Amino acid sequence: MQTLPSFDELKVMAEQAPEELESLRLSMSEDIINNASTEMQPRLRAQMSHINQVIAKGKNPNHTNILLMAELQIQLKRFAQALNAPETLTEHQAEIMPFSRPTAQHDAPTKRLKE
């Protein structure tokens, strides 16, 4: 597994070689996921995909940090809820509605006029 560079090195990388920093982030994330248990890997990959989507929405580095912080707060709230009141995670049930078959008038193919 790779060693994380010092803060100063990361700062220089962010300022002078952001593509290299992004490559480091992705490769270290991949290392962490690959070293996780096989049961956790799909969940970690899903989380990584979500993080990448949040990062892609960022308009600049500060905006990206704000988006990531908001996402982290949502995750921490869910984690606290799971610890303190796990029953509330499954309180809401979806209403399952059957599909209805279209009526006969909608089943007939429509004729197209040639222009």
**Mapped to the 3 state alphabet, what secondary structure does 22-51 carry?**
HHHHHHHHHHHHHHCCCCCHHHHHHHHHHH
pTM over 0.85: no
- Is 10 found in the same domain as 25? yes
| C-beta of residue 88 within 8 angstroms of C-beta of residue 77 | no
- Is 46 found in the same domain as 27? no
Q: How far does Cα 67 stand from its chain's mean position?
A: 12
Rounded-to-integer distance, Cα 90 and Cα 73, Å = 20
- pLDDT (tens, 9 = 90+) of the chain, 115 residues, equals 789 999 999 999 999 999 999 999 999 999 999 999 999 999 999 999 999 999 999 999 999 999 999 999 999 999 999 999 888 877 777 788 888 887 766 555 555 555 5
Could you give phi then psi for residue 73, rounded to 5 degrees? -65, -40
Domain that holds residue 48: 39-75
- Identity of the amino acid at 76: L
**Could you tell me if residue 25 is inside a domain?**
yes
- Count: domains in the chain: 2
**Could you tell me if residue 110 is inside a domain?**
no
- Is 15 found in the same domain as 2? yes
**Could you tell me if residue 1 is inside a domain?**
yes
**Could you tell me if residue 112 is inside a domain?**
no
**Could you tell me if residue 107 is inside a domain?**
no
